[in-house]
Amino acid sequence: MKNVGINGYGTIGKRVADAVACQDDMQIVGVTKRTPNFEAQMAVEKGFPLYISAPEREGLFEEAGIKVTGTIDDLYDKVDVMVDCTPGGIGAKNKEVYSEKGVKGIFQGGEKHELIGKSFNSFANYKDNWGADYSRVVSCNTTGLCRTLKPIDDLCGIKKVRAVMVRRGADPGQVKSGPINAIVPNPPTVPSHHGPDVQTVMYDLDITTMALLVPTTLMHQHNMMVELENPASLDEVIATLEATPRVMLVEAGKGLGSTAEIMECARDLGRPRSDLNEIAVWKESLNIKDGELFYMQAIHQESDVVPENVDCIRAMLEMEEDPAKSIAKTNKNMGIS
Ligand code: NAD
């Protein structure tokens, strides 16, 4: 049984904590919070030992009546790996501390690949992270791109990808992000950083991306144009995506024609927090024209990277050599299709 700590029990951290807690080969030995808010209270109620990530703020937790087990300095000795889910940019600074303490670290997509040294996606480069001390689970958008591009690349090879990503302006719980009444090219420069980010795990892929922000909180949406290396039929592509774990074909004709309806379906599935860990690909959008594959997909930004964090733990702690077995185990324990 491997011991896992979560540094930063926020949107991603609380989900990774639950995903680890439902596996049978790893357990949560502590989660950290900086602020004594409802998430800190709920971590304690769930039975996760709570540590303060900023020891000088201990008085705030006392004032709020939230019982803590200690400070983050007490947690380092207890973990085999720290999954760092702090806001973008902080993880890279924490890496220096983990290194001093001799603790392995998994970081999230808000960190720069160059500062962490390695990146991870379960389908693209699991084996390259075997025994690694530090790695970074690529962002929610990059995870979504890899989930569908890797099986297509395996099927028939990819000559070139162009993708336009429509990004959610904020997560549902965020009150300080936007826009609320605009479409914002973001970044306004072309290409966006997403293509190079995919290349941190699918090293040789020729991919160029553009992105914009829109006033929605539910999901990201991607519009994919993929020049195929070798001929493939639409039926073969559909069969490949249907057979790919963590990918779900949805049909507008069956009432799933928008991100709103897909998330309504996720609520009906009864998953924790109404999460949809799978990438939803609109079946009707799949088409091949002159050797180029077109499709549209939707990404639940708060949850698609969560099972990837569990697989990354198994790769870095040398617990399961076969990526397919880790993916299947994570999925089974989390109830993912
Ligand atoms: P969040 O703001 O929801 O949670 C961050 C947590 O870290 C909070 O609990 C906060 O209290 C804590 N924290 C803040 N400053 C800290 C510090 N100095 N030291 C320790 N803890 C601190 O953030 P999030 O959305 O969960 O994002 C975390 C990481 O995951 C980022 O790298 C982000 O880019 C990435 N990510 C986010 C999403 C998403 O949609 N939210 C999707 C994929 C990846």
Whether 70 has a binding-site annotation, put simply, is no
Cβ of residue 246 lying under 6 Å from some atom of ligand 1: no
pLDDT (tens digit per residue) in 205-216: 999 999 999 999
Does 251 share its domain with 273?
Answer: yes
What is the rounded distance in angstroms from the CA atom of residue 260 to the CA atom of residue 256? 8
For residue 159, what is the domain's CATH number?
3.30.360.10
Q: Please tell me the total count of domains within the chain.
A: 2
Whether 195 has a binding-site annotation, put simply, is yes
Cβ of residue 115 lying under 6 Å from some atom of ligand 1: no
Give yes or no for residue 294 having a pLDDT over 90: yes
What is the rounded distance in angstroms from the CA atom of residue 247 to the CA atom of residue 213? 24
Does 169 share its domain with 95?
Answer: no
pLDDT (tens digit per residue) in 82-92: 999 999 999 99
What is the ipTM score, two decimals? 0.98
C-alpha 273 to ligand 1 mean position (Å): 17
What is the rounded distance in angstroms from the CA atom of residue 286 to the CA atom of residue 96? 45
Does 156 share its domain with 267?
Answer: yes
The parent domain of residue 185 ranges over 140-299
pLDDT at residue 112, as a whole number? 97
| C-alpha dihedral, 242 to 139 to 55 to 93, nearest 10° | 140
For a mutational test of ligand 1's pocket, the pick from 7, 9, 12, i.e. the residue with the most ligand atoms closer than 8 A to its C-beta, is 12
What is the rounded distance in angstroms from the CA atom of residue 326 to the CA atom of residue 307? 10
Does 236 share its domain with 179?
Answer: yes
Does 161 share its domain with 74?
Answer: no
- Region 242-251 average pLDDT: 98
What is the rounded distance in angstroms from the CA atom of residue 191 to the CA atom of residue 102? 38
For ligand 1, atom 24, name the residue with the nearest CA. 11
Does 173 share its domain with 241?
Answer: yes
Does 227 share its domain with 170?
Answer: yes
Give yes or no for residue 153 having a pLDDT over 90: yes
- 99-105 contacts, C-beta under 8 A, 24 or more apart: 99/133, 101/76, 103/76, 103/79, 104/80, 104/132, 104/133, 104/134, 104/316, 104/317, 105/81, 105/133, 105/134
Percent of the residues in the chain that have a pLDDT greater than 90, as a whole number: 99
Q: Number of C-alpha atoms within 13 angstroms, CB side, residue 8?
A: 18
pLDDT (tens digit per residue) in 110-147: 999 999 999 999 999 999 999 999 999 999 999 999 99
Does 165 share its domain with 312?
Answer: no
Active site residues: 140
Does 259 share its domain with 160?
Answer: yes
Angle 90-92-98 from CA coordinates, rounded to 5°: 105
What is the DSSP track for 63-77?
A: HHT----EEHHHHGG
Q: How confident is the model at residue 32 (pLDDT cuts 50, 70, 90)?
A: very high
pLDDT at residue 20, as a whole number? 98
Does 69 share its domain with 134?
Answer: yes
Whether 23 has a binding-site annotation, put simply, is no
Does 107 share its domain with 217?
Answer: no
Task: Return the bridge partners of 314, or none.
Answer: none
pLDDT at residue 337, as a whole number? 79
For residue 56, what is the domain's CATH number?
3.40.50.720
pLDDT at residue 175, as a whole number? 95
What is the DSSP track for 220-265?
A: EEEEEEEEESS---HHHHHHHHHTSTTEEEE-GGGT--SHHHHHHH
Does 248 share its domain with 184?
Answer: yes
